[in-house]
Amino acid sequence: MMNYETRLTANDGVELLSDDERRQRSRRRMLIIGAIVLLVAALAAYFALRPASEDAAAAAAAQGQAMPVVTVVVPGRQAVDHVISVTGTLAARREMPVGVAGEGGMVVNVLVEPGQWVGAGQVLATIDRSVQVQTNAQLAAQINVARADARIAQQDLDRSQSLVSRGFVSKADVDRKTATRDAAVARVRVAEASLGESRARVGRLDIRAPAAGLVLTRNVEPGQVVSSGSGVLFRVAKGGEMELLARLSEADLAGLPVGAQAAVTPVGTDRSFTGRVWQVSPVIDQTSRQGVARLALPYDPAIRPGGFASAQIVRGSQEQPLLPESAVQSDEKGNFVYIVGKDNKVARRNVTTGTVTATGIAITGGLNGTERVVMRAGGFLNPGETVKPELARKN
């Protein structure tokens, strides 16, 4: 009798399998399992026996895909102006204080105002001279009297000399008349000198400008009584020339040459004026360790003595690398940049920065200009990291 196996069908029916059918199904199952085992063994053998170069290539490809791309710049070296930033006070280059030269008196008239230009010897103010005028008249009259006496003495002498040869007048009389004549002439000269002195005193009652320039201040009004002890009545800038008194550190002052150019900007205006260093202080203040550099400036209404101004002094030029500001970073250790070596690995390089210009930052130490410097995104890199550098395009 044959054996049968029962199983449920999709229609919940019962299917009877014979022994032959079961054996056929079992063989098919074994064949499928054998094929799967052979396929797994073949794959294992392939991965075990494939060349190592293929693994390296695959790893390199994966690593290349992970390398960050950075933009680098080779700065080279170019002429960079060494600029010193300073501040200071504006002043007249040669300020002339004007006061009373004589004994003074009451001011009658003031003829100028601050901001006006005056010439050399121009009258700035006048002082009452009514008493001095009368004194001059008196001295002039005394001169006329002395001259009259001198003429009479000369005439007496002439007559006596004409009578000496006849014996009517002695030689002693002629000598006395000669002395009388000389004394009369001397009195004329004394009277003339007195009048000249008085006129000079009157002339000093005019307060005059010692040289041509610009009136800065006026400290006198009509009706005011002034004298030689009244102090400064006017201040005049000789020639209208101005200057900036710039205070510099001891190090900056040491190498500052006379004639260096500077751009001066007074506070309250965006205008810059070209000046030059005309004098460098020979001494250093022991307390502040600073010295004064005097920068000559041309006259301009915007330059007001006593005001405050900033200046950029060009001390000289030097060949230095110049980097964009994005390339320079800083931390607690100082300023630094990232450079990319020949192996495309990132390295930190400490640098010393100099003048900041419109085109970048000058590097005074740490670079020679031939390095490949990371131009930007340095904050996302780490020393030793491998990158893919791309040279920045030149504008």
pTM for the model stands at 0.57
- pLDDT value at residue 112: 94
The rounded distance, in Å, linking the Cα atoms of 28 and 387 is 57
Contact predicate 91/231, CB 8 Å: no
Neighbour-count burial of 51, counting CB atoms closer than 10 A to its CB (0-12 exposed, 13-18 middle, 19+ buried): exposed
Bin 384: left if φ > 0, else alpha if -120 < ψ < 50, else beta.
left
Superfamily holding 87-93+240-317: Efflux pump adaptor protein, beta barrel domain (2.40.30.170)
Quickly count: other Cβ atoms within 10 Å of residue 201's Cβ: 16
Say which CATH topology domain 96-218 has.
Answer: Helix Hairpins (1.10.287)
Quickly count: other Cβ atoms within 10 Å of residue 224's Cβ: 14
**Alpha carbon separation from 250 to 86, 119, 264, 285 (Å, rounded):** 13, 40, 21, 9
DSSP string computed for 202-247 = HHTTEEE-SSSEEEEEE---TT-EE-TTS--SEEEEETT-EEEEEE
Strand order through the sheet with 234-238: 95-98, 234-238, 213-218, 117-118
- pLDDT value at residue 10: 45
Contact predicate 110/233, CB 8 Å: no
Contact predicate 360/324, CB 8 Å: yes
What are the domain boundaries of the chain?
Answer: 69-79+320-391, 87-93+240-317, 96-218
- pLDDT value at residue 18: 64
3-state secondary structure of 76: coil
- pLDDT value at residue 132: 78
**Strand 308-320 relative to strand 78-92: parallel, antiparallel, unpaired?**
antiparallel
The rounded distance, in Å, linking the Cα atoms of 329 and 349 is 10
Decide which of 2.60.40.10, 2.40.420.20, 2.60.40.420, 3.40.50.720 is the CATH code for 69-79+320-391: 2.40.420.20
Per-residue pLDDT of the chain (395 residues; tens, 9 = 90+): 444 444 544 444 445 556 677 777 777 777 777 778 777 777 777 666 655 445 544 554 455 456 788 888 888 888 777 778 889 999 999 999 999 987 888 999 999 999 999 999 999 999 888 887 888 888 888 889 889 988 998 888 888 887 777 767 778 887 888 898 889 899 999 988 988 887 888 878 889 999 999 999 999 999 999 988 888 999 999 999 999 999 998 888 887 888 899 999 999 888 999 999 999 988 898 888 889 999 999 888 889 999 999 998 887 777 788 888 888 888 888 899 899 988 888 899 899 887 777 778 888 888 888 888 998 766 678 888 888 888 887 65
> What are residue 8's DSSP bridge partners?
14
